[in-house]
Structure 1
Amino acid sequence: MSTCPTFDHLVVLPRLRIQNANAISSPSIHGFPSMTAFLGLSWALQRKARQAGLDASFVAVGVVCHDYQEQVYREGRLRFCLTRNPLDKDGGTAAIVEEGRIHLCISLVFAVRSPRWLAAPDRSSAEADLKLLADMLAGMRVAGGSCLPSDGEGRRHRPVVLSWTGTSDDRADGFRRVRQLLLPGFALVLRDELVDARLAELRTTRPDSSRLDAWLSMSRVNWRWRPPAAGQEAAEPGSWQHDRKSLGWVVPIPVGYGALGEVHAPGAVAKARDATTPFRFVETVYSIGQWLAPHQLDSAEQLLWYSDHDRTTGLYRCRNDFGSNASPQAIAWGDDD
């Protein structure tokens, strides 16, 4: 089981306004960008930082959502607000490709390794680089959306860099400061173990249940009729009950990709985007996530997402350590109605 990579600094970019981000996170899910988009953002920001001479490696990223506005309207059912594409080269009407968009207010938390920041006698080097990183991010696409200037001032809207090399008590104090900056909001964490628990529950009545059955069961609200107790029909009528009360705010999410075949040599697949990189056909891998308030997290590692891959099995995943090291109290809070 992989764990979050080590890091020596935590960079917080709070209250970013993102316009027209991609609301379709996978072929089956919409409502918030995929974590693969934010991991890709961290790698793109790392490349830009190194091109500018900054010695920094972005090893993990956390996302906290403060506000959102999905661009939809209701016409019998929810539909995306689509744009009219320009005419094609022949003057005809271009085909409409459904694109989901969402406006977001989010905070990004990056786990960073930087020998240059560690070697500096004071924080002046990190503070100067932080402003440069914030300026770089302002000119980049964030989950396909545009980063707009902040509409607020004060401590909650200023980027922050924290050293993460002290004792466990120092890191705990630092994370308490980070949590205050991120409130109010909700952080997305991974809950793979909930799928395992639901699968075990389903197999008590349906032994042939699969992990797909468990995932589908958790991706919807299941209403069931609860009959009255024997002999209590008059005093206690039956009722409809759902299974969301004990789960909390859990959602189906894409968590990476699974290979459909072997790795192809660079340039072997026609019309591939990059002819110098090995190519592999993949499909989306799904799991269950949960939205939690930042004060329900005990450590930065519970907030951060990082990449993990195994070329032998063909699994390329986004991982998060909340479920593996969460305290019973944090999980109990997350399971409240």
Structure 2
Amino acid sequence: MNTPMIADKPEHWAVLVLPRLRVQNANAISSPMTWGFPAMTAFLGLMTSLERRLGADAGIAFKAVGVVCHDFEAQVTTEGFTRAFHLTRNPVGADGSTAGIVEEGRVHLELTLVFSVRLSTALLGDAERQALADRVAHEVSGMRLAGGSVMPALSGHRKRRPKPFLALEAEGQEEQRLQMRKLARMCLPGFALVSRDDLLASRLSQMRTTAPEANALDAWLDLSRWNHRAVQSDDGEVTWQTDPRQGWTVPIPVGYTALSELYAPGTVNGARDTKTPFRFVETIWSMGQWISPHRLKRLDDLLWYARTEGEKQATYRCCNDYTPGTPADTATA
């Protein structure tokens, strides 16, 4: 389903790493049906905004982004199996009056962002690359990430935040493997989010052997929950068993699909941007997996990129080219 975007790489491809970013109050409601980690569209949006901020004169073009999560602290109240978001009432009028509460989910995060970038010839030197990496980190520190604020390093903290770096991509296969291993070690402990579209397709095929009317939504819901089944043994004893899962899999939004034609700028009332064409869309859902970076064999396994298709039935999709390897890579949870 995914088409590799980062193929036949030019000689000036590089890896930009922004390690251990602390993000406060990021958006935890990733779609109308999921909550938890921010949607991958937020990180691709950050990448696009960052490239625009730097400008063409910076000599860098962003192509894909990978995300490794080191810490996740959802702002929720837990009572047994029930969770509720911490909500606030904020003044909305000039007189200080408030409106009804609109549910806003928030989460504190610690992240490492890994970008695949293309550099100009002027940035091939070590000093030039480090200066650009420092500039990018400075720009990100003043931006919103998934609606949250990037926080400075804690003063007096016993461990200093690692410095950002920009390294040219290794050329040979063995050199690329060693570079990926070094990057993976730097990202530990943590978990990287990768795409598992294959799980959705295989579960749908499996369900249709007994329920021909099953659709993709049925398969998605089945993969999104823990399924417990009553099993009766030969002696009549009934026990409950939980279906195994292929690793730490989660339902995720991966983009949008068109619901309407593309309207000319300014023709739709209430649109925030009156200079850009407008289209009504709905969310595309799929499955993802949290996996330890040391299990990733290639840099492309970590990276997400944007892909658009079609005109009338357009899709705007976040794609990742991870492919399951050995059984250890998809260990049963």
Q: For residues 232 and 289 of structure 2, what CA distance do their matches in structure 1 show?
A: 31
Ranges in structure 2 where 5+ consecutive residues have no aligned partner: none
Q: Which amino acid aligns with 2:294?
A: H
2:93 corresponds, among 88, 93, 105, to 88
**Structure 1 residue 273: deviation in Å?**
1.8
State whether residues 153 and 160 of structure 2, in contact with CA within 8 Å, keep that contact through their aligned partners in structure 1: no
Q: For residues 169 and 153 of structure 1, what CA distance do their matches in structure 2 show?
A: 36
Equivalent position of 1:265 in the other structure? 264
**Structure 1 residue 88: deviation in Å?**
2.1
State whether residues 4 and 320 of structure 1, in contact with CA within 8 Å, keep that contact through their aligned partners in structure 2: no
Q: Which amino acid aligns with 2:77?
A: Y
Equivalences for residues 10-49 of structure 1 within 5 A? 10-49=15-54
Q: For residues 43 and 92 of structure 2, what CA distance do their matches in structure 1 show?
A: 33
Q: For residues 81 and 116 of structure 1, what CA distance do their matches in structure 2 show?
A: 49
Q: Which amino acid aligns with 2:255?
A: G
Secondary structure of the 1:157 match is: coil
Q: Which amino acid aligns with 2:55?
A: R
Equivalences for residues 319-330 of structure 1 within 5 A? 319-323=319-323, 326-327=324-325, 329=326
Equivalent position of 2:66 in the other structure? 62
Equivalences for residues 145-156 of structure 1 within 5 A? 145-151=148-154
State whether residues 153 and 161 of structure 2, in contact with CA within 8 Å, keep that contact through their aligned partners in structure 1: no
Deviations along 1:136-170, one digit per CA (max 9) or x if unpaired, are: 11111111111111246778722122211521222
State whether residues 41 and 255 of structure 2, in contact with CA within 8 Å, keep that contact through their aligned partners in structure 1: yes
Deviations along 1:3-62, one digit per CA (max 9) or x if unpaired, are: 1335610011111100000001001111110000000000111111116x3111111000
**Structure 1 residue 75: deviation in Å?**
4.7
State whether residues 6 and 300 of structure 2, in contact with CA within 8 Å, keep that contact through their aligned partners in structure 1: no
Q: For residues 198 and 66 of structure 1, what CA distance do their matches in structure 2 show?
A: 30
**Structure 1 residue 246: deviation in Å?**
3.4
Q: Which amino acid aligns with 2:135?
A: L
Secondary structure of the 1:69 match is: strand
1:4 aligns with 2:2: no
Backbone CA RMSD of aligned residues: 1.8
Q: Which amino acid aligns with 1:258?
A: T
Deviations along 1:170-196, one digit per CA (max 9) or x if unpaired, are: 211111110011000000000001011
Secondary structure of the 1:98 match is: coil
**Structure 1 residue 96: deviation in Å?**
1.0
Identity of aligned residues (%): 46
1:131 aligns with 2:128: no
Distance verdict in 2 for CA 1:144–1:116, change over 3 Å: farther
Q: Which amino acid aligns with 1:303?
A: L
State whether residues 117 and 123 of structure 1, in contact with CA within 8 Å, keep that contact through their aligned partners in structure 2: no
**Structure 1 residue 268: deviation in Å?**
1.7
**Structure 1 residue 89: deviation in Å?**
3.1
Distance verdict in 2 for CA 1:332–1:169, change over 3 Å: same
Q: For residues 116 and 69 of structure 1, what CA distance do their matches in structure 2 show?
A: 42
Q: Which amino acid aligns with 1:168?
A: Q
Equivalences for residues 107-256 of structure 1 within 5 A? 107-116=112-121, 120=124, 122-151=125-154, 157-228=162-233, 230=234, 232-233=235-236, 237-243=237-243, 245-256=244-255
Secondary structure of the 1:322 match is: coil
Paired residues in the alignment total 324
Equivalent position of 1:334 in the other structure? 330
Secondary structure of the 1:267 match is: coil
Q: Which amino acid aligns with 1:159?
A: P
Q: For residues 122 and 203 of structure 2, what CA distance do their matches in structure 1 show?
A: 45
Secondary structure of the 1:94 match is: coil
Equivalent position of 2:279 in the other structure? 280
> TM-score normalised to the size of structure 2?
0.92
Distance verdict in 2 for CA 1:14–1:153, change over 3 Å: farther
Distance verdict in 2 for CA 1:102–1:314, change over 3 Å: same
Q: Which amino acid aligns with 2:229?
A: R
State whether residues 303 and 320 of structure 1, in contact with CA within 8 Å, keep that contact through their aligned partners in structure 2: yes
Q: Which amino acid aligns with 2:150?
A: C
**Structure 1 residue 94: deviation in Å?**
1.9
Q: For residues 128 and 94 of structure 2, what CA distance do their matches in structure 1 show?
A: 51
